[in-house]
């Protein structure tokens, strides 16, 4: 594909994905995400041909002009759409496939100073919401969706939707994923949630046992009261029979 065809394809991509784009001229003049992608093509060529300082200087100019920072060494596929774009950061070893959409303040970053591949790989058709952070040498599978504000630290399977801090899967293959084990979230508070769950289960078991004992005591109380009354009556009669100073009916007449 030659340069002119690539430009036309990028413009058509913006028109298809952004309903706010009403004309080709508007897209060419008013979309910094598109300007940043076009500039990156030139900067990446310079980087690959060992003009690294010049490539970095150009990328800094693009960052100042568009608010989007893309390292010249990053590998970007076709039809990347960066909507709004301000605050987007794409690291040196990041790899982005075709038909990817990024919103503002997305970071494709690393997690430390380790060398080699240290930035994420986004497969074809990935959608990343605003303020999402995808960190480390991880892979976001084809057509996966990352919710706004999420922090992704682990690989995401294809056709999945992840949200949260840290991100966890809520939809996969179009079906809702229910989380029953807090360990699946991999949150620092998971251990506390598990301990609270165990304590609630123990308290529930104890309450059920005490309730059963109470119900049994309530049922036994009337029978015990009747037995006690009969025993008192029998004892009273026995005491009266043993007395010698009482008069039977008819005596003394």
pLDDT one-digit tens code per residue, 14-46: 999 999 988 999 999 999 999 999 999 999 999
Q: State the total domains in the chain.
A: 2
3-class secondary structure, 140? strand
Q: Is residue 251 over pLDDT 70?
A: no
Residue 19, in any domain of the structure: yes
Indicate if 155 and 187 belong to the same structural domain: no
Of 76, 90, 105, the residue nearest 6 (C-alpha): 76
Indicate if 114 and 100 belong to the same structural domain: yes
Q: Is residue 246 over pLDDT 60?
A: no
Task: Band the pLDDT of 155: cuts 50, 70, 90.
Answer: very high
Residue 44, in any domain of the structure: yes
Summarize pLDDT for 96-125 with one digit per residue, the tens: 999 999 999 999 998 877 778 999 999 999
**pTM for the structure as a whole:** 0.72
Indicate if 193 and 155 belong to the same structural domain: no
Mean pLDDT throughout 54-75?
95
Instruction: Report the distance separating Cα 239 and Cα 234, nearest Å.
Output: 9
State the pLDDT at residue 151. Answer: 93
Residue 246, in any domain of the structure: no
Task: Output helix, strand, coil percentages for the chain, rounded to the nearest 5.
Answer: 45, 15, 40
For 177-182, the CB contacts below 8 A with 24+ separation are: none
Q: Which of 156, 178, 200 is the last residue of a domain?
A: 178
Residue 248, in any domain of the structure: no
Backbone angles phi, psi at 17, to 5 degrees: -100, -20
Residue 89, in any domain of the structure: yes
Indicate if 99 and 161 belong to the same structural domain: yes
Indicate if 93 and 174 belong to the same structural domain: yes
Q: Which of 126, 161, 178 is the last residue of a domain?
A: 178
Structural domain of 144: 3-178
Indicate if 230 and 162 belong to the same structural domain: no
State the pLDDT at residue 176. Answer: 82
Kindly state the percentage of the chain with pLDDT values over 70: 82
Indicate if 185 and 174 belong to the same structural domain: no
Indicate if 71 and 191 belong to the same structural domain: no
Kindly list the distances between the CA atom of residue 21 and the CA atoms of 7, 10, 17, 39, 227, in Å, as whole numbers in the listed order: 16, 13, 9, 21, 91
Q: Hunting for tokens 């480390």 — which residue is that?
A: 136
Indicate if 32 and 95 belong to the same structural domain: yes
Indicate if 191 and 88 belong to the same structural domain: no
Both tokens of 6, joined, read 């690539």
State the pLDDT at residue 196. Answer: 80
**How many Cβ atoms sit within 10 Å of the Cβ of residue 19?**
7
Residue 249, in any domain of the structure: no
Summarize pLDDT for 164-218 with one digit per residue, the tens: 888 888 888 878 877 666 666 666 666 677 778 778 888 888 888 888 777 777 7
CATH number at residue 22: 2.160.10.10
Residue 252, in any domain of the structure: no
Indicate if 86 and 165 belong to the same structural domain: yes
Q: Which of 159, 178, 197 is the last residue of a domain?
A: 178
Indicate if 107 and 58 belong to the same structural domain: yes
Residue 186, in any domain of the structure: yes
Kindly state the percentage of the chain with pLDDT values over 90: 56
Q: Is residue 247 over pLDDT 60?
A: no
């Amino acid at each position: 594909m030659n340069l002119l065809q690539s430009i036309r394809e990028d413009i058509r991509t913006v028109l298809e994905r952004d309903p706010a784009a009403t004309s080709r001229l508007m897209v060419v003049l008013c979309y910094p995400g598109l300007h940043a992608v076009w500039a990156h093509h030139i900067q990446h060529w310079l980087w690959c041909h060992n003009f690294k300082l010049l490539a970095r200087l150009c990328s800094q100019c693009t960052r100042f002009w568009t608010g989007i920072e893309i390292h010249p060494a990053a590998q970007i596929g076709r039809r990347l759409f960066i909507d709004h774009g301000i605050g987007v950061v794409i690291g040196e070893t990041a790899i982005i496939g075709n038909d990817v959409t990024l919103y503002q303040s997305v970071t494709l970053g690393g997690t430390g100073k380790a060398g080699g591949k240290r930035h994420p790989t986004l497969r074809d058709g990935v959608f990343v919401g605003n303020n999402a952070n995808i960190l480390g040498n991880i892979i976001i599978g084809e057509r996966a969706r990352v919710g706004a504000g999420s922090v992704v630290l682990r690989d995401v399977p294809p056709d999945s939707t992840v949200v949260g801090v840290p991100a966890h899967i809520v939809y996969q293959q179009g079906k809702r994923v229910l989380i029953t084990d807090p360990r699946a979230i991999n949150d620092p508070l998971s251990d506390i949630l598990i301990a609270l769950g165990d304590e609630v289960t123990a308290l529930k078991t104890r309450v059920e046992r005490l309730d059963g004992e109470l119900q049994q005591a309530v049922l036994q109380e009337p029978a015990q009261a009747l037995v006690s009354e009969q025993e008192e009556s029998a004892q009273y009669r026995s005491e009266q029979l043993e007395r010698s100073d009482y008069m039977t009916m008819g005596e003394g007449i």
